[in-house]
Structure 1
Amino acid sequence: MALQQVPTIPETITVHLGLPNQPAENVTVPFPDYIKNVASSEIYPTWPEAAIRANIYAQITYALNRIFNEFYRSQGYDFDITSTTQYDQTYIKGRDIYENISRIVDEIFNNYVVRQGRVDPFFTAYCNGTTTVCDGLSQWETVALAEQGLTPYQILQKFYGQDIGILENVPISANVPSYPGAALRLGDAGNTVKTIQLELNRIADNYPAIPKIEPADGVFDIATENAVREFQRIFNLTPDGIVGKPTWYQLKYIYNGVKRLNELTSEGLTLDEVTRPFPAVLREGSNGVDVRSLQYYLDVISYFNDAIPDIDQDGYFGPATTAAVRAFQTLAGLPADGIVGLQTWLRLRQAYDDILAMLPPGMKENNAGIYPGYFLSPGMENEDVRNLQTYLKGIADYSGVIPPIAVTGVFDEATRDAVAALQAQNDLPPTGNVGPATWNLIRRLYNAR
């Protein structure tokens, strides 16, 4: 979740029935049922409906803030929220639910409070206003305000400011941890890389020793690796430049802290900060460079497995691509729905990496080799960069469509410019980075000599 995804309403929430550090049972319940329990435990069904609704909005948003920012999970806990008002909200396992509260929750559980211009759940701190007093909403004071004729929204404005709004009809999805399940390292690319780049850049405002990553384009390049190493050094993690689970959640914890996402003074997150630059899911009708990458993986895998039909690498996700995806999913033991989500991407990459590992040395002869399995970007220095430069030089010598470059094994500015020129000439984004679609283009041009 966090910046990495536009916020959604979780299907479930896991509640720790005690203090955070106290051994206690965890219970996982449907999110609406959790809110009904909290509201029935903290407010009275006889209150004016406007007061009840205002309190439920605050309770929903508070819980979503805990989940969205992974407040507890980023600290190593295996739950989303506790059951005690000392830290969170009252939850009483097995308690009866008031009928009118249940009805209201069913109506508004997928709405939450935001700062205007922001999309993340605002930290709607509150207290009862009698035995405890806080800077947020006073539950008993909402009753008096409702009796004066204020609407739920006006009541919320009294406590949280005039610049709040209510985001309505938010989509519902499974509540899954944000960690992608595999370590991120040099050469990776995608939304999760974009996430850590933006988090590191914001953290660097408070910790200037961390170098800024420019551009933060979703490609794990040398600049990203250097920023990760410095972050790890500052926060006493192994400075290997790899974002495994400990580094991922330490990043999230520090990012939430510097953005004050768990406070009333939160900076909040704009839509630009949570928009994914790469499609999370590809399906029939999709098009573009990500579809070309998918088709490239399928084409290579199909060469070694006749069960997967050949397809054109045209960048359009048509029926033929759907059939190839379904065939691969069947072989991989996945639901054969023809839709490429995270699990299908991971299995495709694993199958491709397995092919790379089994290729005997020397089989390439005079032709360009297949994609090495990771993004090549400026600053890298290795044999794959040397091969890339060899192919680019061959294309330049043969066709003259790009200037010749030196074969040094170092991904320098001239290499980036040559790559970007080829990308622009072939309707690919001219980023200068080399992913599967660009590598396959260069390979085809080189082999066509």
Structure 2
Amino acid sequence: MPASSVTIPETITVHLGPPSSNAQNVTVPFADYIKNVASSEIYPTWPEQAIRANIYAQISYVLNRVFTEWYRAQGYDFDITNSTHYDQSFVQGRDIFENISEIVDDMFNDYLTRGNAIEPLFAQYCNGTTTTCPGGLSQWGTVPLAEQGMSAEEIVRYFYGDDINFVRNAPISPNLGGSWPGVTFRLGDISEEVRIIQNRLNRIAANYPNIPKIYPADGIFDADTERAVRTFQQQFNLTADGIVGRATWYRIAFIYNNVKRLSELDSEGLLLDEVSRQFPEELREGATGPGVQLLQYFLAIVGEYYDQLPRWQPAQIDGVFGPQTREAVTAYQRMMGLPETGVVDRATWNELVSTYQSVLAAQPTQEWLEQAVGFPDIFLVEGMRGEEVREAQQLINVIARGNPQVPAVAVDGIFGSATRDAVSVIQSLLGLPATGAIGPLTWEGMAQLARDVLASAQTGEGQYPGYAVGEEENT
């Protein structure tokens, strides 16, 4: 039984008519919606296993609509219609059969997937008498199978195939009204949402080869990502500004669903590695890696300005989420009025990043935090221009003087491929992922490497052999 990558919404919004009709929307609890559909489409006198087989199909069908944002990606403000020409039957205000209600309560967060795909199966079905649907479930056809002693699971596989999986007890989450995160994504941003954009554009590019591929799809909005976004926008008649706002986000989602056929019975399928998160939803005690190291770095910077938080030393930023990190997280949560769990969820992370960014203007002055240049408040990535890029290039050239494996770069304020490659080499020296993008950990590491080079070359107080940090160099 596969683990669930899908959550069950607490509520679902139903349009009481065809998609483009001027009809009412109603929002109802998800389980109540399934009870209504089942009471509207099948008979309570049917054998229980036939009822359960039908409910599996009904749950999976609506979850596919929600998961793929079939209607919201087209600009609608609802999740599904009650028109049987498009979706399932839902009768506002109807009576619910008691035995169907009890069965739904038992299985409303169970659904179907196919093979290695993780999205809910687009479980097409028909009544099997006045209409038929090859490859789908026949509602009346479930009855004789149940009377022959087949279980609901056997009936489902009889109609949909032996590669059907049953996901049970999927988690429940609030209905967020669509996946649009309310944030505009542009050059220099880094987030899980950016990685989603990159992965979707890469798949769309297989059908629209004029859209350039993005490699790696690492969650960093770089020049390649911007070019792909612009080309997509041109292809689908959007404003070609290279920025992913609400309209572009949902257009990407809609085209992605179509090329993947996620809302068809023979869907190409969405594999687990396509939705696995580079940035985990939670960081907790026992976790390790660059994500923990970045968390510790933010806590250290913020801790220099708030007495309620513990102080850190450089050696303590080790990428290991131990008791000290947990205590620091708890102290931060207490200070900000967040639940004191000691676990970094998305809310705690976002609040911490916001606090870190507000501190940047104060410029830390503690000796171990001193920088040759200021802290950047965004990730610097290929395709960007400006003074912060110029300062980064100056640091690269200082580092190159003491580390021959690091290539020197032109100090022109343009983050091109040469700067990206040099940053990647420096990240390898620092033991960081070689992304070629400059975030806080890379920036701090570059400053330390530059200080080491300057200190080793110092011939007298304030004297350096022909080079000052602020001097521009073109090579």
TM-score normalised to structure 2 length: 0.85
| Superposed CA offset, 1:319-365 (max 9, x none) | 443344344445545444333233333333333333445769xxxxx
Check 1:357–1:229 CA distance in 2 against 1; reply closer, same or farther (3 A cut): farther
Check 1:275–1:154 CA distance in 2 against 1; reply closer, same or farther (3 A cut): same
Map of 1:89 onto structure 2: 88
1:443 aligns with 2:444: no
Map of 1:11 onto structure 2: 10
1:384 to 378, 381, 388: 388
Residues 371, 444 of structure 2: 8 Å contact kept: no
1:313 to 317, 323, 330: 317
**1:208 counterpart letter in structure 2:** P
**2:206 counterpart letter in structure 1:** D
Map of 1:157 onto structure 2: 157
- For residues 56 and 385 of structure 1, the distance between their equivalents in structure 2, rounded to whole angstroms, comes to 57
Check 1:181–1:334 CA distance in 2 against 1; reply closer, same or farther (3 A cut): farther
1:338 aligns with 2:337: no
Check 1:405–1:26 CA distance in 2 against 1; reply closer, same or farther (3 A cut): same
Map of 2:272 onto structure 1: 271
Residues 370, 440 of structure 1: 8 Å contact kept: no
Check 1:218–1:90 CA distance in 2 against 1; reply closer, same or farther (3 A cut): same
- For residues 357 and 126 of structure 1, the distance between their equivalents in structure 2, rounded to whole angstroms, comes to 59
Deviation at residue 212 of structure 1 after TM alignment: 0.9
Check 1:214–1:399 CA distance in 2 against 1; reply closer, same or farther (3 A cut): closer
Residues 302, 356 of structure 2: 8 Å contact kept: yes
- For residues 297 and 25 of structure 2, the distance between their equivalents in structure 1, rounded to whole angstroms, comes to 44
Map of 1:225 onto structure 2: 226
* SS of corresponding position for 1:273: helix
Residues 296, 440 of structure 1: 8 Å contact kept: no
Q: Which segments of 5 or more consecutive residues in structure 1 lack a partner in the other structure?
A: 361-365
Residues 389, 413 of structure 2: 8 Å contact kept: yes
* SS of corresponding position for 1:283: coil
- For residues 447 and 35 of structure 1, the distance between their equivalents in structure 2, rounded to whole angstroms, comes to 64
Q: Which segments of 5 or more consecutive residues in structure 2 lack a partner in the other structure?
A: 365-369, 456-475
Question: What is the correspondence of 1:27-426 to structure 2 with a 5 Å cutoff?
Answer: 27-135=26-134, 136-176=136-176, 177-311=178-312, 312-356=316-360, 367-398=371-402, 402-426=406-430
Q: Which moved more, 1:285-294 or 1:230-239?
A: 285-294
- For residues 73 and 31 of structure 1, the distance between their equivalents in structure 2, rounded to whole angstroms, comes to 17
| Superposed CA offset, 1:390-446 (max 9, x none) | 112222324657454443333344433433333223332222222222112112333
* SS of corresponding position for 2:112: strand
**1:304 counterpart letter in structure 2:** Y
- For residues 115 and 287 of structure 2, the distance between their equivalents in structure 1, rounded to whole angstroms, comes to 32
Q: Which moved more, 1:126-135 or 1:224-233?
A: 126-135
- For residues 26 and 334 of structure 1, the distance between their equivalents in structure 2, rounded to whole angstroms, comes to 35
Count of aligned residue pairs for this structure pair = 440
- For residues 357 and 241 of structure 2, the distance between their equivalents in structure 1, rounded to whole angstroms, comes to 22
**1:394 counterpart letter in structure 2:** V
User: Which protein shows a greater Rg?
Assistant: 2
Deviation at residue 216 of structure 1 after TM alignment: 1.5
Check 1:329–1:233 CA distance in 2 against 1; reply closer, same or farther (3 A cut): farther
Residues 370, 443 of structure 1: 8 Å contact kept: no
Residues 367, 446 of structure 1: 8 Å contact kept: no
* SS of corresponding position for 2:241: coil
Residues 384, 409 of structure 1: 8 Å contact kept: yes
- For residues 268 and 18 of structure 1, the distance between their equivalents in structure 2, rounded to whole angstroms, comes to 29
Give the superposed CA RMSD.
2.6
Residues 186, 221 of structure 2: 8 Å contact kept: yes
**2:117 counterpart letter in structure 1:** R
* SS of corresponding position for 2:435: coil
Deviation at residue 66 of structure 1 after TM alignment: 0.7
Deviation at residue 230 of structure 1 after TM alignment: 0.9
- For residues 23 and 307 of structure 1, the distance between their equivalents in structure 2, rounded to whole angstroms, comes to 55
**1:351 counterpart letter in structure 2:** T
Q: Which moved more, 1:199-208 or 1:410-419?
A: 410-419
Residues 198, 217 of structure 2: 8 Å contact kept: yes
Check 1:370–1:97 CA distance in 2 against 1; reply closer, same or farther (3 A cut): farther
**1:187 counterpart letter in structure 2:** G
- For residues 65 and 448 of structure 2, the distance between their equivalents in structure 1, rounded to whole angstroms, comes to 50
Q: Which moved more, 1:69-78 or 1:348-357?
A: 348-357
- For residues 243 and 357 of structure 1, the distance between their equivalents in structure 2, rounded to whole angstroms, comes to 28
| Superposed CA offset, 1:247-303 (max 9, x none) | 111110111111111112211111111211221222333221112222222333333
| Superposed CA offset, 1:76-128 (max 9, x none) | 22221223323222223343332332332233222211111211111111122
- For residues 402 and 441 of structure 1, the distance between their equivalents in structure 2, rounded to whole angstroms, comes to 14
* SS of corresponding position for 1:140: coil
Q: Which moved more, 1:277-286 or 1:417-426?
A: 417-426
**1:159 counterpart letter in structure 2:** F
* SS of corresponding position for 1:114: strand
Check 1:42–1:281 CA distance in 2 against 1; reply closer, same or farther (3 A cut): same
Residues 363, 374 of structure 2: 8 Å contact kept: no
- For residues 339 and 178 of structure 1, the distance between their equivalents in structure 2, rounded to whole angstroms, comes to 24
TM-score normalised to structure 1 length: 0.89
Deviation at residue 205 of structure 1 after TM alignment: 1.5
**1:156 counterpart letter in structure 2:** V
- For residues 91 and 246 of structure 1, the distance between their equivalents in structure 2, rounded to whole angstroms, comes to 30
Q: Which moved more, 1:199-208 or 1:14-23?
A: 14-23
